Amino acid sequence: MTRRSAQAASEDRLDAVFHALSDRTRRSLLRRLTTGPAKITTLAEPFEMTLPAVSKHVRVLERAGLVERAVDGRVHRCSLNAAPLADAHAWVEHYRQFWDSTLDALARFVEEEDT
């Protein structure tokens, strides 16, 4: 794989993670999975939506690599894979440093204006 295609693949994975996290239902599903694996029926309980609708959300999380699904007959058990969140965290952290320095500069400017 070339450096450019590896970079593009990394960006595609990051896009998938942020897309998955962009929906509150999917974030709620991930939050629930932090306590351990769960069946789709258990994950669906707090939501006023059909099992197929919850399953669609789980598929988005699977494509992002955030959820792994094991199928045993008709029972689908999901578990959290938090590893892809590390790349998202690194991306956000890069911009946090930018905002920290920008806000520090703003604070210095305001302090100078007050004196």
Read out DSSP for 15-64? HHHHHHHTSHHHHHHHHHHTT--EEHHHHHTTSSS-HHHHHHHHHHHHHT
- 105 in a domain, yes or no? no
Closest CA to 87 of 3, 21, 35, 28: 21
Rounded to the nearest integer, the mean pLDDT of the chain is 90
Per-residue pLDDT band at 98 (split at 50, 70, 90)? confident
pLDDT, one tens digit per residue, over 62-94 is 999 999 999 999 999 999 999 999 999 998 888
Q: Could you list the residue range(s) of the whole structural domain that residue 33 is in?
A: 3-82
Report yes or no on whether pTM surpasses 0.85. no
Cβ atoms of 44 and 54 closer than 8 Å: yes
pLDDT, one tens digit per residue, over 36-69 is 999 999 999 999 999 999 999 999 999 999 999 9
- 69 in a domain, yes or no? yes
- 115 in a domain, yes or no? no
Structural domain total, the chain: 1
Q: What is the CATH number of the domain that holds 49?
A: 1.10.10.10
Given a cut of 80, is residue 3 above it in pLDDT?
no
Distance CA 98, CA 71 (A): 44
Please tell me the predicted confidence (pLDDT) of residue 1: 64
Given a cut of 80, is residue 103 above it in pLDDT?
no
